Structure 1
Amino acid sequence: MRQQGVEANDVTFLCLLKACDSEGFLKEGKLIHNCILQSSFANHIMVGNSIICMYAKCGCLKYALRVFDELPKQNIVTWNAMIHAYGQHGFGHEAFQLFEQMQRHGVNPSQITFASVLKATSHINALKEGQLIHSKIVMLGSEWDAFMVSALIDMYTGCGNIEDALCIFRNSCKHELVTWSAMISGLVHQFHYEEAFMLYQDMLQEDVEPNGVTFVCILKACSALGLLDLGRCIHMFTALSRLESIIEVGNTLIDMYTKTGKIVDALIVFEKMPEKDVISWNAMMYGCTEHNLNAEALLLFSKMQCQGKQFTIVTFLSALRACSDPLFIEWGRLIHFSLVLDCHEADLVIGRTLIDMYARCQSFDDAVMVFHSLSSQNDASWSAIVVACIHCSHIDLALYYFSLMLQQGYSLNKVLFVSLLSACSQKGMADEAFHYFSMMESMYGIIPVLEHYCCVVDTLGRMGSIVEAEDLLKTSPCEMNHTTCAYLLNHCKTYCNVGAEHIYFDNLNFLDHMHVSCYALLPDMQTCWKM
């Protein structure tokens, strides 16, 4: 068009800006913006509004704000675009401040303004600001249509105020699909699953046909409560309603089936989806790794690559977890190389997962190399290298890294202490085990749980200190389980402590349904009893 000497007009620029309003087209959007600045449309209000929307959708909020400030005049659409942009990027307080500023400039909010600012406040749990907006809606006498009601419901449920949300829903003149979906979505978001199911039933009784949003919410509730049979029924309804092909519905079905252990059903849903986004691929890969189908997860990763799909950090994390087996270490190295090329290696979550992968593959030198190559470290990366050392039987090095971690003031957690105490147990380091066990609560406020007691009991048992192990269990607030009893039975067998054997065998009978490993000890126990 430009080569033929045809000048662009406002409609041309509006269409071009619309074509650039996604993250992958920021560069092109900037070029269009430069062309506009050199034209007679630089101060055109409709074009300016479109530039704000384009930058906001491309994730470039500072440019959107600059355009907003430089416009000689703003109309209601301009204010709405900027408020929406703030809300879109999680800047709820700034959205509310702009909402207030807009009114000081004598511009009355529209329904779109109210909906945008209510959504922005719900994202940051700003209930007080949301209530002020609600009072403003009442004061201005704005029309209470389904759009406004659903925006208020979203705000109150987003801020955790279910009671007020239900009050608004029940007092609305007419319940439309959008308000039903908003209320059900809010209940599910706040984990009120049973109330969501009841509302869903009410909705069906009033002959309101669910949409994709409704089905997604109810399927999430089924997944959270493990209600597989109900989930299958909802799945059938989505198929009958021809909503199964919606990407969000498909993704939620995959999530539900993987979480309820039905990985084959998840794969069937995945294969039947006519269109898949990166969330679909990530959900399916994650489901495979959760069920130890590592080869299948890596096959999905390979298909993504062949189809030119864009990888996210979540994609790489699932792929690396699938490589946490010596059989797939070469895959892991290739993915690691891809991460280096894409400059993702420095990401702390990626770094921690790489350390864990190499440790599980017994490639300890690679795990250490990754740790030291991180540009910065946090609690998780330090914990990962300590656990990696323990996993690869480098106990002394693990204790060295742990001491460095303490010196540098990093936070500790329960999982790290389980690994440390387990390492002490393997090495028979009773003094160190007691030292770490006592420091948990006294120095770091971490209350020991059964796993920690099991590790210390095992350490004492390995040394033949059965009485001390028994005394420790008596002081424990945790109830004895099969694991602790089995530990002690095993060590009683080793040291032929007949009296204690009877006590822990009785405990196992009391616990009912002994684990098969405990029965394996019976012949040796009987030998001790006869001595």
Structure 2
Amino acid sequence: MLHPLPQRDLQLTPFLTIPNPPTPALPTPRQNPLNQHNCGQSFRDICNLLLSLTRSRSLLKGIQLHAHIIKAGLQTIPLISHHLINFYSKSQLPLLSGQVFDEAPRKSSTTWSSVISSFAQNEFPLLALEFFRRMLDTGVRPDDHIFPSATKSCAILCRCDIGQSMHCLAVKTGFEFDVFVGSSLVDMYAKCGEIGHARKMFDEMPEKNVVSWSGMIYGYAQLGDNEEALKLFRQALFEHLDVNDFTFSSVIRVCGNSTLLELGKQIHGLCFKTSFDSSSFVGSSLVSLYSKCGVIEEAYRVFGDIPVRNLGMWNAMLIACAQHAHTDRAFELFKEMEGAGMKPNFITFLCVLYACSHAGLVEKGRHYFQLMKEYGIEPGDQHYASMVDLLGRAGKLQDAVSIIEEMPIEPTESVWGALLTGCRIHGNTELAAFAADKVFELGPVSPGIHVLLSNAYAAAGRWEEAAKARKTLRDRGMKKETGLSWVEEGNRVHTFVSGDRSNAKTLEIYQKLEELGEEMERAGYVADTSFVLREVDGEEKSRTIRYHSERLAIAFGLITFPPERPIRVMKNLRVCGDCHTAIKFMSKCTGRVIIVRDNNRFHRFDDGKCTCGDYW
């Protein structure tokens, strides 16, 4: 499972006095420009031509027309400056937009709006806000076009404090409940995680549009409130809102995070009917949905059907391949991506390092880790955590320690946690204790660290130390995450815990497990009770491991689903070694394909074999 991406500390202050950055050369004005009336065509015709070139993204012809405009002396007309700024903005050359703006002798509200929008739309939020301040200094009042660009910049930076200042200014100037300004504020609050402010603004708006609805849905999805996100989406459809690709993308991600495959399929069908299925934003969400639900074949199909793929879509497919043990395909995709002229980012390298880690490809991992610098990407704490995880899983624990010691940044909890995982797998309790001491020095840590340490001691039979680690967890008011497994049946999700007897089919489930257990033993299965990380007698160990949550979920699938349907089980914790062995025997004895997703990857069991190759 990929760790949360690191947040970057962004400052506004350095840009208050930023000099104009170097840009490609624009046509230079002549000393004696011709009068506009001497030009062979009116400025309105030129505006229409600029609009056409903007739509077609014809950069070379646009630059030639720009030269003609300068020669004809038409660059002084604010409307033409506006269209030129917009042209360079849509051509993804926002710095040229800024140069056109600076050279315009007269700057209207529309000109200011164009250049601020250019920076905001092209991911230059700091410059957008700097130009917004410059505009205010000149006495130009922001309007319903300028406010949304400024608030979008605040959302990109996750600077809710500046966004609140925008909100205050909107109230003072009477734009608070303008549909465009209000919607941009809702979107900004939602993306900054201030869902309460976003909802209050949303509920008070007299008129809502697709931006306000989409912002709220995205906000709830981002915070993991999937039920509220889906509820809002249903309400939007009920009110006949024309949703866009951003709305669909957010809702599909909710389905993926909740592994709601059937609902996701229905929304995919709706995307197809509304022609949003070809959007790269929707496509990346669909790839993620099908991957997280264990249907990697559909993820490949969606990826192949999208004509124009953005970076997010390439990354979604890469992580899907890594999680489903399609390691070679992940490396092929990386090469295809380079060949298509798509520059990988820090997320891309997290994906390929993840693939290396879960296939034990140490040298490949080192190669991609070094390759990052060739692309000008400085490794972050998550990249170092991936390298430590790769080396730790491969048993190269001292190499992992060396990586940590040589880090140019302070090791984080995720880095030490990766080392702890390697220590648990290979039974190095001394190094595990050292890593635990280091992570505890960072201050309060997540319950997972205590659990990792406890399990490392328990796996080595050091029960007293394991009990102390669990006691520390309790003393600090923390709880170990309960192991859950769930399986989807139609529009219902059936959830199981170890030893669960709450399901309506409990008697049939346990009877199936008993019958299957006898058949598995005849086929050679012997329970490995060393994976019971508690100090109990042998009989209780055997009984405990026999009814782990994933086995109950699989038994439910065996008695419920038709023989030709794969059984897909989702699990929130790592599958234990004995259950992994047992499920291989289950697939062999029943002839069924069983797909299990744990908190790290997918395991596809077929005819007694697993795609992970017993390395996970």
1:524 paired residue number: none
Gaps of 5+ in 2: 1-26, 34-42, 58-62, 64-72, 222-227, 484-495, 501-528, 556-577, 582-616
Q: Which of 408, 421, 424 matches 1:387?
A: 421
> Contact 1:329 / 1:361 at 8 angstroms: preserved in 2?
yes
> Contact 1:387 / 1:416 at 8 angstroms: preserved in 2?
no
Cα displacement (A) at 1:267? 0.8
> Contact 2:357 / 2:386 at 8 angstroms: preserved in 1?
no
1:460 paired residue number: none
The answer on 1:180 being equivalent to 2:217 is: no
> Contact 1:115 / 1:151 at 8 angstroms: preserved in 2?
yes
Cα displacement (A) at 1:103? 4.8
Cα displacement (A) at 1:65? 9.8
Question: After the TM superposition, which residues 96-135 of structure 1 pair with which residues of structure 2 at under 5 Å, given as runs?
Answer: 102-103=135-136, 105-121=138-154, 123-126=158-161, 128-135=164-171
Residue 378 of structure 1: SS of its match in structure 2? coil
2:407 paired residue number: 374
Task: Give the residue type in structure 1 aligned to 2:536.
Answer: H
Residue 537 of structure 2: SS of its match in structure 1? helix
RMSD value, Cα: 5.2
Cα 1:72/1:306, change in 2 over 3 Å? closer
Alpha-carbon distance between aligned partners in 1 of 2:552 and 2:75, rounded to the nearest angstrom? 79
> Contact 2:286 / 2:302 at 8 angstroms: preserved in 1?
yes
Residue 428 of structure 1: SS of its match in structure 2? coil
2:40 paired residue number: none
The answer on 1:447 being equivalent to 2:478 is: yes
Give the greater-gyration-radius structure (CA): 1
Task: Give the residue type in structure 1 aligned to 2:234.
Answer: M
Cα displacement (A) at 1:76? 2.8
Compare relative contact order (CA 8 Å, sep 6+) and give the higher one, 1 or 2: 2
The answer on 1:492 being equivalent to 2:537 is: yes
Question: After the TM superposition, which residues 37-436 of structure 1 pair with which residues of structure 2 at under 5 Å, given as runs?
Answer: 75-77=108-110, 79-80=112-113, 84=117, 95=129, 102-103=135-136, 105-121=138-154, 123-126=158-161, 128-138=164-174, 144=178, 147-148=180-181, 150-155=183-188, 157-158=190-191, 159-160=194-195, 161-168=198-205, 171-172=206-207, 179-191=209-221, 192-204=228-240, 210-325=243-358, 328-339=361-372, 341-342=374-375, 344=377, 346-379=379-412, 380-406=414-440, 409=442, 412-436=445-469
1:108-129 deviation digits (Å, cap 9, x = unpaired): 2232222223434555334743
1:202-255 deviation digits (Å, cap 9, x = unpaired): 244xxx654433433443344344443333233233334333222112112212
Cα 1:331/1:439, change in 2 over 3 Å? same
Cα displacement (A) at 1:367? 2.3
Cα 1:100/1:132, change in 2 over 3 Å? farther
Cα displacement (A) at 1:283? 0.2
Task: Give the residue type in structure 2 aligned to 1:190.
Answer: Y
Residue 271 of structure 1: SS of its match in structure 2? helix
Q: Which range is displaced more, 123-132 or 41-50?
A: 41-50
Q: Tell me which protein shows more helix as a share of its residues.
A: 1
Residue 309 of structure 2: SS of its match in structure 1? coil
Cα displacement (A) at 1:149? 5.5
Cα displacement (A) at 1:354? 0.9
Alpha-carbon distance between aligned partners in 2 of 1:489 and 1:422, rounded to the nearest angstrom? 9
1:294-313 deviation digits (Å, cap 9, x = unpaired): 33323322432444431111
Cα displacement (A) at 1:284? 0.8
Cα displacement (A) at 1:369? 3.3
Task: Give the residue type in structure 2 aligned to 1:493.
Answer: G
1:76-115 deviation digits (Å, cap 9, x = unpaired): 35644675578666868994x9767745643222322222
1:247-297 deviation digits (Å, cap 9, x = unpaired): 112112212222222221111000111121221111011122223333332
Alpha-carbon distance between aligned partners in 2 of 1:93 and 1:323, rounded to the nearest angstrom? 39
Q: Tell me which protein shows more strand as a share of its residues.
A: 2
Cα 1:340/1:163, change in 2 over 3 Å? closer
User: What is the TM-score normalised by the length of structure 2?
Assistant: 0.57
Task: Give the residue type in structure 1 aligned to 2:270.
Answer: F
Cα displacement (A) at 1:55? 11
Cα 1:377/1:281, change in 2 over 3 Å? same
Alpha-carbon distance between aligned partners in 1 of 2:332 and 2:431, rounded to the nearest angstrom? 36
Cα 1:48/1:114, change in 2 over 3 Å? closer
Task: Give the residue type in structure 2 aligned to 1:449.
Answer: K
Alpha-carbon distance between aligned partners in 2 of 1:490 and 1:401, rounded to the nearest angstrom? 24
Cα displacement (A) at 1:410? 5.5
1:465 paired residue number: none
2:559 paired residue number: none
Alpha-carbon distance between aligned partners in 2 of 1:451 and 1:180, rounded to the nearest angstrom? 39
- Aligned residue pairs total 442
Residue 342 of structure 2: SS of its match in structure 1? coil
> Contact 1:346 / 1:375 at 8 angstroms: preserved in 2?
no
Task: Give the residue type in structure 2 aligned to 1:194.
Answer: L
> Contact 1:295 / 1:322 at 8 angstroms: preserved in 2?
no
Alpha-carbon distance between aligned partners in 2 of 1:213 and 1:512, rounded to the nearest angstrom? 35
Among the aligned pairs, what percent are the same residue?
A: 21
> Contact 1:188 / 1:196 at 8 angstroms: preserved in 2?
no
Cα 1:304/1:486, change in 2 over 3 Å? closer
1:456 paired residue number: none
Alpha-carbon distance between aligned partners in 2 of 1:247 and 1:55, rounded to the nearest angstrom? 20
Alpha-carbon distance between aligned partners in 2 of 1:183 and 1:421, rounded to the nearest angstrom? 45
Alpha-carbon distance between aligned partners in 1 of 2:216 and 2:210, rounded to the nearest angstrom? 10
Alpha-carbon distance between aligned partners in 2 of 1:270 and 1:139, rounded to the nearest angstrom? 42
Cα 1:337/1:87, change in 2 over 3 Å? closer
Gaps of 5+ in 1: 1-5, 23-28, 30-39, 453-478, 495-500, 521-531
1:470 paired residue number: none
Residue 353 of structure 1: SS of its match in structure 2? helix
> Contact 2:202 / 2:212 at 8 angstroms: preserved in 1?
no
Alpha-carbon distance between aligned partners in 2 of 1:336 and 1:513, rounded to the nearest angstrom? 38
Q: Which range is displaced more, 316-325 or 425-434?
A: 425-434
